[in-house]
Amino acid sequence: MTQQLIIAMAQLNQRVGDLPGNAEAMLEWRAKTIEAEPATDLVVYPEQQLIGYPAEDLVLKPAFQRAAASELDKLAQATSDGGPAMLVGSIFVEDGKLYNGVAILDGGKAAAVRYKHELPNYGTFDEKRIFASGSLPEPVEFRGAKIGLPICEDGWLPKVSGHLKERGAELLISVNGSPYEIDKDEHRLTEVFAERVKETGLPLLFLNRVGGQDELVFDGCSFVLNGDGRAAQRLPDWSEELCITRWKHAKAGWHCDAGALSTWQEHPEDIYSAMIIGLRDYVDTNRFPGVVLGLSGGIDSALCAAIAADALGPERVWCVMLPSRFTSQESLDDAAECAAMIGCKLDTIPIMPAVEGFDAMLSGSFADREVDITEENIQSRIRGVTLMALSNKFGHMLLTTGNKSEMSVGYATIYGDMAGGYNPLKDAYKMTVFAVSKWRNKHRPRIGLGPDGPVIPENIITKPPSAELRPDQKDSDSLPPYEELDDILLGLVEQELGVDAVTRRGHDRATVERIERLLYIAEYKRRQAPPGVKLGSKNFGRDRRYPISNAFRSG
């Protein structure tokens, strides 16, 4: 039996559907490990690295299944050079069933294949409608060592790891596609996989991917735990990383040599990084030259501009001020200062000619009606049409800038300020927006491409929020203070509490009932909202799927 193993952890990004590109990247990273001394035995890649994760219903296409099998075969052939073996995640078809699995490619062939047993079916996951469940996996013999291969959810529950231990596994390698959520990095390490180590007494290598895929972002945060529960390696968050781990076998079993223990970001830096990665990969994967957004002089659009600059570089960010007769000089000055601080382009396109045109066009139909929210929404929709025109003409993707507090209660104009291709703030409550803005003014993110120093004028952060669609308008005219609103929404949305339970937290019952009603009736708007990065446990979209037509009200 071998007494030493060299295992390379390739914490990588991936592109869903780009099978040749993903395969090429894996071979490039494998080539880097060949230079290691002593030579690497095995290179480990994240879950479904070959096809991209999650590929959703794309995996159901027979042509896609055939392409995945073909690329996996090419990767297997590459190992005939005598270099390191590869542990590659992909999809597999057997007896007419589709599986999520991994293959150890070694010596020019697939030396072993294992299928995922535990299929997650909650929150962002719906694998049970796509994949068949594999049988409880047996350990794999590799270089004389017995390795257990729990795939993502297999490691989050005790059953598979316990079975592998009973069947003689000596160490566990768990490949994952575990999306970012607030506080999830430490939860994985200290509460989930540390428990698997405690239950089995086996050392465990946890590998996760990085990067963005539509509404999901993956933070990496891979690690190695020895059998005593102590961390031997902690890879950085948010960046691709190759980590060579050295394993030795003794009487007590396999043990990983101590290495670097990276410090993972804390709040609110991690939230800001998630926004950066989500936007960057969405824009670049879909080949947009940059982004365009309306810069109003308010905090939401200012933060979106800062995120975009950190994601793409200021030169790829185009801000547009769209003043009406209700736009204050303060907002004009704040927007100009913000664009200058960020270093991005700013244009000004007044909307009054269009507003006057709509007033004239609708004057006959509206003759017997008072001015109301309709005229406010027309202004917002004119802005949306203008920004979409710029997007169409020049190719930049339009960013929307509404936060989760507003989207929860429908404080947004459909086909107006909701128009666009992506929303970095979709899962960020208003108080989170304030916290992240204050943090960014004091810190430049490690993965950011924007300037050092403050990027949002202090006046934007401190002045009362306003949509400026009528004289002297304030958000507080229509909504409770955001501190109160956000706490009510945390109860109703994130914690699925009823009105009684939220009221007991110290809120006025009538206010809670009103917010619950607004939450439910705004569902149709949210269904038509653009995607945006998931931050918490209940984002609107993949996590929270409520009916549009809904008569229920909680007690």
Give the DSSP per-residue string, 302-359.
HHHHHHHHHHH-GGGEEEEE---TT--HHHHHHHHHHHHHHT-EEEE---HHHHHHHH
pLDDT for 158? 96
Name the nearest CA neighbour of 151 among 130, 135, 166: 135
pLDDT for 126? 86
Q: Which amino acid is at 126?
A: D
Here the tokens at position 34 are 């060949």
- Annotated active-site residue 47? The verdict is yes
pLDDT digits (tens, 9 = 90+) for 92-110: 999 999 999 999 999 999 9
pLDDT for 494? 92
pLDDT above 70 (res 1) = no
Higher pLDDT, 544 or 45: 45
- Three-state secondary-structure class, residue 458: helix
pLDDT for 467? 65
Which residue is catalytic, options 71, 116, 165, 170? 116
- Three-state secondary-structure class, residue 407: helix
Kind and range of the H or E run holding 165: helix 158-166
User: What average pLDDT does the segment 164-184 reach?
Assistant: 96
What residue ranges define each of the domains in the chain, with the CATH number in brackets?
A: 4-256 (3.60.110.10), 269-420+433-472 (3.40.50.620)
pLDDT for 468? 62
List CB contacts of 523: < 8 A, sequence separation 6 or more: 546, 547, 548, 550
* Angle subtended at Cα 265 by Cα 262 and Cα 271, rounded to the nearest 5 degrees: 150
Distance, in Å, from the CA atom of 282 to the CA atom of 291, rounded to the nearest integer, reads 11
* Contact between residue 260 and residue 299 where contact means Cβ atoms under 8 Å apart: no
Confidence of residue 326 (pLDDT cuts 50, 70, 90): confident
Which residue is catalytic, options 24, 28, 32, 47? 47
What radius of gyration do the chain's Cα atoms show?
26
* Angle subtended at Cα 284 by Cα 278 and Cα 286, rounded to the nearest 5 degrees: 100
Higher pLDDT, 545 or 117: 117
- Annotated active-site residue 375? The verdict is no
- Please report, to the nearest 10 degrees, the dihedral formed by the alpha carbons of residues 301, 302, 303, 305 taken in order: 80
pLDDT digits (tens, 9 = 90+) for 251-288: 889 999 999 999 999 999 999 999 999 999 999 999 99
* Contact between residue 246 and residue 235 where contact means Cβ atoms under 8 Å apart: no
User: What average pLDDT does the segment 419-428 reach?
Assistant: 96
pLDDT for 550? 83
pLDDT above 80 (res 138) = yes
Which residue is catalytic, options 118, 141, 146, 152? 152
Q: Mean pLDDT for the chain?
A: 94
Distance of CA 546 to the CA centre of its chain: 21
Q: Which amino acid is at 279?
A: L
pLDDT digits (tens, 9 = 90+) for 336-374: 999 999 999 999 999 999 999 999 999 999 998 998 889
Confidence of residue 478 (pLDDT cuts 50, 70, 90): confident
Higher pLDDT, 430 or 471: 430
Name the nearest CA neighbour of 13 among 56, 45, 58: 45
- Return the biggest CA–CA distance within the chain: 90
The rounded percent of the chain whose pLDDT value lies above 70 is: 98
Cα dihedral sign for 324, 329, 333, 335?
negative
- Annotated active-site residue 344? The verdict is no
Give the number of other Cβ atoms within 10 Å of residue 544's Cβ: 15
pLDDT for 473? 65
pLDDT digits (tens, 9 = 90+) for 372-401: 889 889 999 999 999 999 999 999 999 999
Confidence of residue 465 (pLDDT cuts 50, 70, 90): confident
